[in-house]
Structures are given as C-alpha cells and as structure tokens.
Structure 1
Amino acid sequence: MKAFLGSLFYTSVFKSNHENTKSIFATDGSGREIFRCVMSQFRFLTLLNYIRFDDSNTRSQRLETDPLAAISEMFKLFNNCKKAYAPGAYLCVDEIVLDLSEVNAYALYKTCTAVRDIPRAQFLQNLAYSLVLPHLKRRVYNYRLPRELRLTIARVLSPNKPPEPVTEPSESTEAARKTCKICPSRLKRRTKYNCIECRKSIYLGYSKTICVDWVDDK
C-alpha cells in the first residue's frame, strides 16, 4: 500500500495527475519508468479502482442522512480536520486532497526537522521515493519479472540496491538426493531417482525409458 501511495505522489512530481495511465506506463521511452518499476499498470488501476474510504454496500442508505457518506468515516478519524476544514456542498475529493497532503507533510517536515531550505518539489520526490523504496528492493531480485524490468529497477535503485540474496538448497531437498550407486565414486553424482526394481539410487544417464504398460504387466 505504501508503494501505491508513493506512485500517487509521483503523479504529482511529474505533474501527471490527469494524464492517461497508458502514457505513464508506456514502454516506448515516453513513459515514466518508475511507475513500471513499482507495479504493473493493471495492478495500479485495480488498486485505484477498488480503494474506498467506506463500505459501498451501505453507502446508498447512509447518503440519505449524510451527504458526505463516502468519506465521513475517514473524516471523523481526524478531529483536527474539523477545526481546519468545513466541508460543504461543493467539496472536492480528488487530486485536491492529495495536494493538501503534500503541503501539510511539507510544512510538518520543515517544522519538526532542522532542514529549512529544501524545495517543496524535492521534498515531494524524496517522500515518494521513500515510500516505494522497500517495494523496489523486493522486486529487483524477483526472477519472475522480465529481465529488462529488473535491470531498470536496479538502475533506479542505484546505490540503494541491496545485495543479491544467496539461495541455499533446503535440507529436505538435499536429503532426498543420494549418491548414484552405478557412477564411479570419484564423480560424486547425486540423484533423486531410484531404480524401480532394486530401489537403488541411479543417475538418469544410466536409466532406460520403458513403456508404462510393460511396467504394469510386470
């Protein structure tokens, strides 16, 4: 979820709040590669479509008595919001909310830290990067992803790229492999296959393919 929020902040960094997602995730050089590094376009649109601040099943009933039913439960969680904002009939809940969160985060950052001269655009970019960074570190060595995408993620991470994890064979897999009884001992060939007759461990190079029907007859 943090990675998704970071992607939303990146739309503000690139001034692409109203840009078509196809152009944002484009692979012809015109898109922003950070979005493809974080998640696929399908996943981004899925999260954007299904994330809600309330229960959509009961929204129609609550709208009869509460015009702000879509966000009222979330709004009540922040008591200070009531002091600063008075929602009315023309309340806009879209990119404006995201812009306000950027301004508030920027003001709090300057107040609570010794940094005073950081530009707002740079702060917003740092914020977005910090949100997507843990997710990028997990994806860079996900070998189910295309190699080109993993190289792009590694380039985006640059000095923050984690070391490649060392994968060791599990004990159960190693225990199941035994030394071939036919191969010379100096070769130390280990195999997980056994002879169907004597049950000895045997290397596939010394095996012979036979018909299943013949085995059943035997």
Structure 2
Amino acid sequence: MATGSEAQTSFFGGGEAVPDADLVEAARRGDERAFDVLFQRHYPRVAGLALRLQGNAEDAEDIAQTAFVKAHANLSRVRDGQALLAWLYRTVVNDVRDRAKARRRKPLVLLSTVMNRRDGSESAPSQEPGDHELDPARIVASSERDRALERAIGQLPLEFREPVVMHHLEQMDVADIAKVLGVPAGTVKSRLSRGRARLREAMAEWL
C-alpha cells in the first residue's frame, strides 16, 4: 500500500488507479486529498442511485452529499475500504427511507427505462433497435409507456423499488444488493420477483 508522499503523488498522478482501500486508509490518517479522490470516483453513481430512489433532483443531491459527509465522519466504521461504495449506497437507502416515512409519502422515481421481465430471471437482455422501432407512432407509444412505467415504479413499496432500481438501473447483482440492504440474497430475489409482478399488473395494458 502506498504511504506518505508516495500515496499523495499517486492520488494526483492517477487517482483512479489507487484502490479504495488505500485511499480510505490515507483519508483516515487525515489526507483530505485522498477523500477528494474517493468523492470524485463515486459521487456520480451515488447521486444516480439517490435520484432514482428519491425522484427529486434537489433532494437527491442533498442525500448524496450527506452520504459522503457521513462517510468522512465515520471512516473508522468502514471495515473494508473496498466496501466503501456499498456503505455509501446503504446510507442513501436509509436516508430515502427516513425521508419517505417523515413525509408520509412514497418518493417518485424518475426513470426512463427498466426491464419488465416475465420469466423472473435476474439478467436483462440486450437488444439492438430495429427499423420498426424508429416509426414515429411507435416512438410516441414508447414515450407514453415510459411515463406510465415511471409512475408504476414510483408507486411500488420502497422495499420492492430498492432492488428493482439497483438491479435494473444500477446493474448491481443480487449479492451486492443483499449487502447494501442488509438482507439475504433470497430476500432480494423474492422482492425483485414481487416488484416485477406488481409492475406487470400495473402495466398490463402496455404488455
């Protein structure tokens, strides 16, 4: 692990190459530049998750920034520096839950797409658009369907919305989602299945 001046030089010379564990250790020793690298590296994904769960851009930014403030203040509690992103995700999830309870409403999720699968599998198919998908009528219908899907996801109970967003939008696998949510992998799979079932029901006219 790089230490002292070597670590500081590596942060500025190519921070992306420095493992999170090394950066966290340096930040624990008071190197603010190390934490800056961690912030720049992970903020886009943390903010993206916050937006997809919360739905409001201003609130999402506040949630993401708060997660990093908490991380900075609790670096000693991050047992494994390599698990920092999971720790940040978990902080975001908890904040969104707390805000939802406080406001007595479910936060709206603004998403343009999410896989609505029938087979219950855990992977999303990749498809290239065909010429028929460029037809104006199909584009309009697709846009309307996306808006309906956004509303349907926003109405999902938070316990189902969390794994649906993490798996289909953040491309996280079941094991990683389980770590973030603090539940068994089987529970994640069950919630994914139930969440997709509710989406299929809500989107019946579009299927």
TM-score (norm 2): 0.27
Larger helix percent:
2
When Rg is computed on C-alpha atoms for both structures, the one with the higher figure is 1
